Structure 1
Amino acid sequence: MRLPRFAVAAVLAATLLAQGPRADAQTPQKLRFQASFPSSSMIFDNLKFWAERVKAMSGGRLEIEVAPAGTIVPAFEVLDAVHKKVIDGGHTAAAYWVGKQRAATLFGPAPGGPFGMDMVDYMGWLHDGGGLELYRELYQDQLKRDVVPLPLTSVANQVLGWFKRPVSSWEDLKGRKCRETGITAELFSKSGMSPVNMPGGEIVPAGERGVIECGEWVGPAEDMKIGFQTVWKHYYMPSTHEPATVLELLINAEVWKGLKPDLQEIIKTATWEATFRSQTITNKLNAEALKELREKHGVKIERTPDDILRKTLEAWDQIAKDEAEKNPFFKKVHESQRAYASQIVPARRFVIPPYEAGANYYWPEKN
């Protein structure tokens, strides 16, 4: 017997009600994250992009509110705030936690790569060389912080920095009061430099007041956005102190476990996209910034003396050697990186032509 139309409609309505509300009508899950970086930084822009991608890929089921440094907690308290669930997550740098465990610097940014690795090599070690497991061990077992770490945001090779006066050699760094953080501060202190630790948003004001006479942050585009060019005019690059800088996303472990598996995968996928996007965008913006710094702001773009590049690595190797002798976890991570780099770095050097080969042929440097 054929049912009347109204009966068919009633059956359909009852079926839909029994199934509950549609997925797209669900109330979105909302999380709150804070960065260790100022709102004026490109790093914070990338965090916002990441949050937008998570929302888009989840169909609006997961919304992440992001705030810059100092909004909820100070920049260097993000880790503890995530652990205590003051915030659900944070965007920060592992190197900020070297005072808690020196091995933190090996998870970015680490001097020398380490072992000559660039950003792609470092990401390979994390995902295919056992790095992520060691990363989780750093926080869960060593630092006793209940957080889940994921790599997020590449800021490319960091430059040596900005100076009030020209720099001619490693020894010429002696006595200069410069903004440096983490292991990098200890490294450059070997030259006789007097490092001063401070968040990124405080560097330019400190330079204006004469508290410091030099400092480093990231690279041309990021530095210009913060305003280094208004204080100093001598800008030195490249550097070997942070050649593969990848920052981190920290998520409270309880919050992470409370996310559905597909949302966890969306977050992971979005970190990949945002990290590699930040690298490509940084390359383009750095090129534009260098032109503007020269032509509009009168900044002198100068090449870092070779002995600084070499002695930076020598100083780091000694620091790492000394630390590995007394810190089993540092040694464990460092040896893992060495094993991975020993395969990848020499092979890439053999397979891939030097960047200068094409760059110098098509774009020879002007004297």
Structure 2
Amino acid sequence: MKKGGTAGTGATGRRGLLKRAAFGGVVAATGALAAPQVSRAQTVTWRFQSTWPARDIFHEYAADYVKRVNEMGGGRLRLELLPAGAVVPAFQLIDAVHAGTLDGGHGVSAYWFGRNKAFSLFGTAPPWFRDANNYLGWFHYGGGEALYNELITDILKLNVVGFQNGPMPTQPLGWFKNPIERVEQLRGLKFRTVGLATDLFNELGAAVVALPGGEIVPALERGVIDGAEFNNPSSDRALGFPDVAKVYMLQSFHQHTETFEILFNKPKFEALPAELKAILKYASESNSADMSWKLQDRYPKDLLEMTQRQGVRALTTPRPILEAQLQAWDRVVARLEGDTSSPAAGPFFKKVCDSQRDWCRRTGVFFLRNEAPSVLAFNHFFARG
């Protein structure tokens, strides 16, 4: 009996072990299946505000970035996009991200120009860059990113992490009631611009007013300003410029290159796991490429809409004005580089300019020698009678 009992107890023990093992397998399988549910339950949602009105194509570019992050975040990180003014006015975005009132945002470095003039060198530098993609080359491979981080972290002590992306084409001189045909017409003109372009137009005699995108057209309509620039045909059309002015002057050196800036609160960014940090970074680079393709479709279409259906006269800025801008740039840069009394200019400003000039001199020589003239090819294929 004892032997049989032992055998029985052994069999029962084995059966119990098998049951427990089977049950454990079910638990393990259930746990494996449940893991995504746990991940979704732990989704981090960040408030991400742009500096652009919801109707502007710039806000659409911000939405394109957010879409990439949310799709790649795997339910662990989600950005909630808000338009300018939803939490703070456009010009207060960096302060809100620094304080953690906002988790992140989409704008341009030139908007923080009042904090330190060197900010405008990151995205709206003098026109020594061939184009905005050439600027991004300097930022990522010519030492620009280290200088940018030195400015925001060491000099200004800002709790933000920033990415530069989105190469913009040359910006038009802007919108006016009458054509700008001579440099003298800029003297005394109440004109909207931002960043280092304010110094440039002041140098040319204009009275500069800095306004965020959503406030420009109302100011132009009321006569608070006489002329204004914003950025591109799609933004300008969406914001309503053709309703208040009919002269659109194309070509300018005031903002020959510009890029966007994506900001995040630094403590929150640094608390993320490495893979989510990588998503925020590489989504910015993907968004940058996509934007450079999208604008090629949209900007020409909107310029045609304005000129063919809205009565807009698109004129080329005369060469003497372009030359006067370049000469004014020489004076502005020399003054800011030599201003050792101001923490917003002086040695650091010159340090960034020197780095940019070295990059542009080296890369410019190559591309000018290497690239066949695009005007020659365009005229050959498309300008023949």
Deviation per CA, 1:135-169: give whole Å up to 9, x if none: 11111112221111101333322111011111112
| Aligned-partner Cα distance in 2 for 1:317–1:148 | 32
Is 1:137 equivalent to 2:150 in the alignment? yes
Q: Secondary structure at the match of 2:337?
A: helix
Identity %: 35
**Which shows bigger deviation, 163-172 or 227-236?**
163-172
Work out the CA distance in 1 between the residues paired with 2:75 and 2:167. 26
Separation of aligned partners in 2, 1:6 and 1:45: 57
2:56 to 31, 41, 48: 41
CA distance in 2, matches of 1:152, 1:69: 19
- Give 1:1-367 correspondences, 5 Å limit: 9-16=22-29, 21-23=34-36, 25-26=38-39, 27=41, 28-112=43-127, 115-325=128-338, 326=340, 327-364=346-383
Residues 18/61 of structure 1: CA separation in 2 closer, same or farther (3 Å cut): closer
C-alpha distance in 2 between matches for 1:365 and 1:255: 58
1:26-72 C-alpha deviation (Å, 9 max, x unpaired): 12111111111111111111111111101111222210011111110
Shift of 1:194: 1.4
| Native 8 Å contact 1:111 1:242 kept in 2 | yes
Structure 2 distance, partners of 1:351, 1:207, is 44
CA distance in 2, matches of 1:225, 1:9: 64
- Residue 165 of structure 2 aligns to a residue in which SS? strand
Structure having the higher Rg: 2
Q: Distance in 2 between matches of 1:41 and 1:276?
A: 19
Give the TM-score, by structure 1 length: 0.94
Q: Which amino acid aligns with 1:83?
A: H
Distance 1:127 1:116 in 2: 14
Q: Partners of 1:24 and 1:14 in 2: how far apart?
A: 15
Deviation for aligned residue 1:24 = 5.7
Q: Distance in 2 between matches of 1:365 and 1:306?
A: 25
Q: What SS does the aligned partner of 1:39 have?
A: coil
What SS is found at the alignment partner of 1:301?
Answer: strand
Contact 1:110-1:241 at 8 Å conserved across structures: no
**Alpha-carbon contact 1:36-1:69 (below 8 Å) kept:** yes
TM-score normalised per structure 2: 0.89
CA offsets 1:217-249 (integer angstroms, 9 cap, x no match): 011111101110001001011111112210101
Distance in 2 separating the partners of 1:13 and 1:143: 56
SS state of the match for residue 76, structure 1? helix
Q: Secondary structure at the match of 2:52?
A: coil
Deviation at 1:6, TM superposition (A): 6.4
CA contact (8 A) 1:101 1:142 kept: no
d(CA) in 2 for partners of 1:261, 1:24? 21
Partner deviation per Cα, 1:330-360 (whole Å, 9 max, x = no partner): 1111111111111111101111122212222
SS of the aligned residue for 2:255 comes to: coil
Alpha-carbon distance change, 12 to 125 in structure 1, aligned in 2, over 3 angstroms? same
Query: In 2, Cα distance between the equivalents of 1:250 and 1:334?
Result: 23
CA distance, structure 2, for counterparts of residue 241 and residue 123 of structure 1: 18
**Contact 1:109-1:247 at 8 Å conserved across structures:** no
5+ residue gaps, structure 2, are 1-10, 341-345
Equivalent residue of 2:208, what SS?
Answer: strand
Residues matched between the structures, number: 364
Aligned-partner Cα distance in 1 for 2:235–2:51:
15
Q: How far, CA to CA, are the matches of 1:81 and 1:17 in structure 2?
A: 43
1:47–1:91 CA contact under 8 A, matched in 2: yes
Query: Against the structure 1 CA distance between its residues 6 and 363, is the aligned structure 2 distance closer, same or farther, given a 3 Å change threshold?
Result: farther
Deviation at 1:131, TM superposition (A): 0.9
More helix by share: 2
- Contact kept, 8 Å, 2:249 with 2:314, in 1: the verdict is yes
Decide whether the 8 Å contact of 1:95 with 1:109 is kept in 2. yes
